[in-house]
Every structure is written in C-alpha cells, then in structure tokens.
Chain A
Amino acid sequence: MHEASAQPVVHRHAPPQGFIRKYVFSLDHKVIGLQYYGLALAAVFIGMVLSWLMRIHLGWPALPFPGLNKLSPNGAPGGLMTPEYYLSLMTMHGTIMVFFVLTNAPQAGFGNYFLPIQIGAEDMAFPRFNMMSFWVTFLAFVVLIAAFFVTDGPPISGWTAYAPLSAVGRDAGPGQALGQTLWGISIALFCIGQLLGSLNFISTTLDLRTRGMSLARMPYSTWAWFVTSVIGLLAFAVLLPACILLILDRVAGTSFFIPAGLVVSDKLQPHAGGSPLLWQHLFWFFGHPEVYIAILPSIGIVSHILPSFLRKNILGGARTVVGSLIAFGFLSYMVWGHHMFLSGMNPFSAILFSVPTLIITIPATIVVLLWLGSIYGAKIRFDSPALFCLGFISLFISGGISGFFLAQPSIDIQLHATYFVVAHFHLVMAVAAIFGIFAGTYFWAPKMFGRMMNETLAKWHFWLTFIGVYCIFMPMHYIGLAGNVRRYALFNDDYMIPMNPVHKFMTIAALATGAVQLIFLYNLFHTRFWGKKAPDNPWESTTLEWSTPSSPPPFDNFGGKYPVVYRSPYEFVEGGAADYVIQTSPVEVGTH
C-alpha cells in the first residue's frame, strides 16, 4: 500500500491560540527550537562579552573598565578588575559557553526544530516534556546569571568546579559563598532539562518516523542528534547526582569531596573523609562525553549540509558516517581520565585512559577523510553555508590534531594546564561547533524564517571570522608550549612576562573577531523581518525539511499530511532537469 504519496493526519493538538500559547509556553517543537536558539544567542553574547573583558584584562591589566564597578563594586573597584573577579568572569564564560551555548544551540535548538521535520513527524513525541525541558533550561540560565548580582559575585572555581575550592564555601574566597551554590543549582536544573530533552529526542527518532523513513534513510544530522541524545541521557544522569552531592557538601555539612584537616584561611574545616578526586571522576565522567555532545551535532549538521553544495553524497554514505558517529559516542565514555593525568590519580590509570583517547582520533580522522574525499571531484557551490562547512573542516583538523599531544600522559606533563590546552579545546570544540551553528543558521534560515540571509554580509562574516579565530587561537599553542599557564589573571612570572605581547595580539584579534559577529547579528535580525522571500528549496536540497508546503512550515509541518519516503537522503544524479531527487519523490531515476 505504497500508492498514496501522503495520507491525512489526525492532529495531535489543535494549533494554539493567543500569544502566550503560541510563542511563550508553546508545545510546537519549531517554536521551542527557536526559543532554545534565542536562549543560546543571548548566552553566547554574554559569554563573548565576558571573554572580551578577560582578554582586555590579560592584554592591558592596568586598564580600567568604566562602569564595570556598577556591576560589581567589589569585583572591579573603580572599574579596575581584581584577580578574583577575573576568575569569576572566566567561570561564567566557561559555564555559559559549554552548557548554554554549545549544548543548547546545535542540539536542543536545531535538533528541536528539524529532527521531527527530517523524519516526517508533526511534532516531538512529548510536546509537554519538550516545553518543560526548555523552561527548566531557561530557569537554570536565570539562576546562573543571578550569580552576577549576589553580594560576593559569581564563583571563581572554573566551569569544572573542582572541590574543595567549590565545596568549602565562603572561606575559599569571594564567589564561593552563594555564587557557587547558585552555580550548582543551575547545573542541576540544566541536567534535568537535558535529560527530558534526550528522552524526547530518542523516542521521537525511534517511534515517530513517517512511512519509508527507515533508520538507514535518516539524514546525518538526525543521526547526530540521536547519538548525542543517547550520550546525554547517560552523561547528565551522572552529573546530576554529582551536583546534588556538591550542594550537600556546601549546605548540609557533608564531606563527600572534602578530606579531613583542611585549614582554609586559617580556619580548620569541620569536614572529614571525603576525596577531591571523587568529584573529578564524577565530573569528568560527564565532562568528556559533554564535549562530544557539543561537537557531534555540528559534525552531523556539516555532513548534512555539504552534499547540497558538493552536489554529491558524502563519501561512503550513511554506513561510514553514522558508524563514525556511533564510534565517537561509544569511545567518549572510556576516556574521561585524560583530564586527570596529573591530578594525583593513580599513574597506572593514566595509561588505561590514554589508549582509548588516542583511538578516538581514528573515527575523527575517518570523518575528516570522508569530507575531503567527498570534496574531490565535486562541483562546489560557494554559498555561505558551504563556506562555513569548509571552515569547520579546517578548524576541526587544526583543533583535533593537538589532541594527539594531550592524549599522552608523557607530553601532558608539560602541556597540562597551559594555553596549549585552551587552544586545543577552543578550536576543536568551541569554534568548530560555532562554525557548525553558523552553517546551520545560514542553511536553514530560509526554512525557519522563510527569508534568505544576505549573502554578501554572510561571506564577509565568514572571511573575517575564519581569519580571526586562527589569529586568536593559533598563538595560544605557541605560548602554551613555552609554559604559559592558563587561568592566571596576570602573567608576572619571570618566564611568562615575555609572552605578554602575544597576549596583546590575541586580545586585539579577539575584539576584532567579536565585533565581526555584529554583522551576523544584524544579518540575522534584518533577515528575520525584512529579508527577501525564500523559495521553497533554495539550496536544491533533498531531505524532508525542504518538502514542507510552506516556509516556515505550518503548525503540523506537512499540512495535514504525512510525507512518504521512497529513497535515501542524499541522492544527486547528473543529467535530467534537476540534478537532485528529494526523498519523497516516488519517480524512478536513472542509475548513478
């Protein structure tokens, strides 16, 4: 019974009426996706400003920030940033970027919007969970930001919140009072939001695929969102209790992470029997999968976008790409100890953790080679999404390659906690993922807003950002090799002073690159309201999101019908009127 190309649908829930139900407490996965995207946008803006402040402080420590004393009288008396306030900003920058940007935008944002459409469902499996997961995440964000406004300011213990610094409270320094507790609560809430999201994603992917959309026919992006959700389901389930134990240590006087005989600011702490390493183990058991939660969706998005601009499928097709994705997910659990080589962990474990860490480079190399192999002999269309995908590949190589160093305990001895590490994870996890987000935005804007982004601005945005990020993060490798320690508010050690010029250079690059992002912001908002109308399938793409009756898609995505899928996601064939065949097309096409 495969004749009917589409069948009528019983609506799950009627289109909502009224502003609140439509745009605030909406059950529509498209609105929720945009809400996540908006939240991430706000978060990334805050995080970027924080990084500006930090960079300026590192470049010109004596330079006062007019008005910063308004935000924090203690942290920046007379606008002059104190070392502890630098650490506060650093902590908030890391937390905001890792959790509320890199986890939210590519996974929860684009995933919510496009996963149901790409599998031909008219919504997520559990719209109410979906709404809850967003609003819990939103609450988590508010709680985190609130830390800026409490008396002692935000925590100073970094996004990894190592105990005992994060566990003993006020004595450990400003920000470790209420600020750190808020941090813990915020992250615990965030875990709940993510767990709800993961449950929703997985059951949607497994149970709500339209007829013909077998697992093998799902787009790479859907696969990436699915694998990421599985990772998240297990990872956040471990961070949640860890956060609860940390909060208990702080407010209920337990000593899970605090050993006996601690004397902090000349006060003997009333704790005994805990272990700081336990926190590190629990945290990194989540923390390493987390970096794959951040990057996998971008890998999926890039692999999904590239075919439309190469006019051919990714080399090896679903089997190889999806295989690598799953390999990433599987391996990401066996390697958390490589963050702890020098943490006082048993030196034997270091070797046990180092081997799988190195093995992860195999799937990484495979995906890169697949991309390169697909570019070979293609007919590349250089629209902005394509450019950002190609930029992503370049950055992914640059950032991933330094993993070879940090995966080896013997080299980590020298590079651990230096700017080499900062360069590594910023390139491979942060900037690369952000490029994936940009690519996704330019690629899907026609679908999300029904309008085309301004191509000229987009291209300028790409060129400047691409050069900029290399100017910021490449030098970090060099000074890292020279032993420049990270998380310092000031470099006045004899052997670090000579590197200050490099820091000045990186600061300027960072400010410039940040300023360039305003082009993107302008382009985004201008497009949203006044951009030129987009055709239904501007990129001549093949997956279901381009088969919806309108852009943005109607409330039930396919206008009261379910599409029926007849073929694999990326079929491009030369000759004939169009060189691409959309998944819903039943017409037989010539061999290729």
Chain B
Amino acid sequence: MSESEVALGHAAVMEEPAYALPPKKLTVWLFIISDSLTFGSILFAYGYLRVGSTNWSTPFQFPSILNGMIMTFVLLTSSLTMLGGVLAAKAGRKSVTVRWMGLTALLGLLFAALHLREWSHMIGEGWRLFQNPTGGSVQFGAAFFSITGLHLLHVVSGVIAILVVAIGFNRGRLTEGHVETTGLYWHFVDVVWMFVFPLVYLMNAAR
C-alpha cells in the first residue's frame, strides 16, 4: 500500500493537508476516535447493566488483580518499546527499529498469554458469558468476557500489524510513516486498557 507516500509526493501540487498529517496518520487518528466510541458504548452498556442490577458480584481476589497489574505493566512497557521503535525508525536505524518492534510484539503476546490464562482460570471456576458460579448477576460474565475479548482482539491484531510492518520496514517496502501509525494504534490499545483495567478489574475486586 503506497498511497500515503504518493499523496505526500504531491505536496507540490496539492493544498497542504489539514493538520499537516499524511492521510494514513490522519486515518489512524480517525479510526481511534471511532473505535473509542465503540469501546465507550460497550463500557456504558456494562455500567448500565451493573447499575440496574441488585446482585452484582465482585469476584476478583488479589491474585487476579495482581495478574491485572502485571498485564498493565507489560502493556505500558510495550508502548515504551514501540516508541523506541518509532524513534529509531525516524533516525533511519533499520535493525534497531526491527529489534524494538520485535520486543513490542513479544510483550503484546505476553499480555495476551496472561490474559488467556486469566480467562481459562475463570472459565475453570465456571464463569461463562451467560453463567455466574457465585450466583450473582449473570451480566458479570457477559460484560467481562465481551469487553476484555474485544480488547484482546485489538491486542492480537495489533501484534500482527506490528510484525507485518516490522518485516516490511526491514525489507524497505514500508516507511517510518507506517511504523509511526502502527505505534499510534498500539498506544491506543494501551489507552483503552487504562480504562478497562480500573472499570472491569478494580471495580470488581473483592474488597
């Protein structure tokens, strides 16, 4: 996909892009806006159902919260490594970029693994989308699995994107622009987690 370079190459004959952003970067920003509404509406739905239920269960013991903390740490760190990748790419240091991005992808996978461990652990306890072993509102499982599932989907697709872009950048097919936009998306996945962790984990901690 080579649209954005060409569009930039046209700078001589085009009006200057609004916000001085190339189309790709602008589009990722727009996607982020729209996606944050997607997450927003699901989180609001979760809040709606929780407020409307009398028997909400808050099952997370400290181990789960600790697991959540580790996941938060991993994801935040992956954002940092991604930034390393972006800076290196801008400095034109290919191999360094690829190393940083590889590290980011690894951290992303680690996050997913921790998440899935959490899931399997809960499923083992008898949690389902439609089932609550503690006898509380069944909406807990529905909300938890759908929200974290949606986020996990973003993480996994992010990891794939990072790998693809890293390889493409290494081969010289893709530019630092691609690295940067991928980073933008990856940071957004991080930002979403900054809301999911408190709202879905901490608010459901057994206190």
Contact = CB atoms under 8 A, between A and B. Distances in A.
Interface in A308-335: none
A206 B16 CA distance: 9
Contacts of B37: 234, 237-238
A564 B10 CA distance: 13
Interface string A436-463: 0000000000000000000000000000
A256 B53 CA distance: 12
B1 A128 contact: yes
A237 B35 contact: yes
Contacts of B18: 206-207, 215
Interface stretch (A73-81, A240-248, A348-356, A411-419): A240-248
A252 B14 contact: no
Interface stretch (A133-141, A151-159, A267-275, A370-378): A267-275
Contacts of B21: 207
Interface string A163-195: 000000000000000000000000000000001
B61 interface: no
A256 B141 CA distance: 11
A211 B130 contact: no
Interface stretch (B22-30, B69-77, B108-116): B22-30
Contacts, number: 137
Contacts of B1: 126, 128
Contacts of B150: 241
Interface stretch (B40-48, B167-175, B198-206): B40-48
A125 interface: yes
Contact of A210 (B14, B17, B35, B137): B14
B18 to A, nearest CB: 4
Interface in B1-36: 1-3, 6-7, 9-10, 12-15, 17-19, 21-23, 26-27, 30-31, 33-35
Interface stretch (A4-12, A86-94, A401-409, A541-549): A4-12
Interface string A196-237: 001110111011111111110000000000000000011011
B45 A245 contact: yes
B138 interface: yes
A199 B45 contact: no
Contact of A241 (B12, B38, B53, B129): B38
A252 B38 contact: no
**Chain A: interface size category:** 35 or more
A480 B10 CA distance: 57
Contact of A208 (B12, B23, B129): B23
Contact of B23 (A204, A234, A274, A281): A204
B38 A208 contact: no
Contact of A127 (B3, B14, B41, B128): B3
Nearest to B4: A125
A517 interface: no
Interface string A349-365: 00000000000000000
Interface string A90-133: 00000000000000000000000000000000000111100000
B49 A273 contact: yes
A202 B24 CA distance: 11
A255 interface: yes
A390 B15 CA distance: 35
B138 to A, nearest CB: 6
Contacts of B78: none
A15 interface: no
Interface in A1-39: 7, 9-10, 12
Q: How large is the interface on B (under 10, 10 to 19, 20 to 34, 35 or more residues)?
A: 35 or more
A242 B41 contact: yes
Contacts of A242: 41
Contacts of A274: 49, 139
A214 B16 CA distance: 9
A9 B6 CA distance: 10
Interface of B is mostly: helix
Given A10-B9, A242-B41, A255-B139, A125 B3 contact: yes
Nearest to B19: A206
A256 B38 contact: no
Interface string A279-309: 0011001000000000000000000000000
Contacts of B129: 248, 252-254
A260 to B, nearest CB: 9
B33 A234 contact: yes
Contacts of A520: none
A207 B37 CA distance: 24
A293 B79 CA distance: 37
A123 to B, nearest CB: 9
A557 to B, nearest CB: 13
Contacts of B146: 244-245, 248, 254
B64 to A, nearest CB: 22
A562 interface: yes
A502 interface: no
Nearest to B136: A273
B23 to A, nearest CB: 4
Contacts of B52: 273, 275
B143 to A, nearest CB: 9
B142 interface: yes
B59 to A, nearest CB: 16
B193 to A, nearest CB: 17
A278 interface: yes
Given A241-B42, A272-B137, 11 more contacts: A208-B23, A212-B15, A213-B15, A242-B41, A248-B142, A256-B142, A270-B130, A274-B49, A275-B49, A278-B49, A562-B13
Q: Sort A-B residue pairs by CB-CB distance and give the 9 closest, nearest first.
A: A253-B130, A207-B17, A237-B34, A125-B23, A206-B18, A237-B37, A254-B142, A209-B15, A203-B23
18 contacts: A7-B13, A10-B10, A207-B14, A207-B17, A208-B7, A209-B14, A212-B15, A237-B37, A237-B41, A238-B37, A248-B129, A253-B130, A255-B142, A256-B139, A274-B49, A275-B48, A278-B49, A285-B41
Interface of A: 7, 9-10, 12, 125-128, 195, 198-200, 202-204, 206-215, 233-234, 236-238, 240-242, 244-245, 248, 252-256, 270-275, 278, 281-282, 285, 562, 564
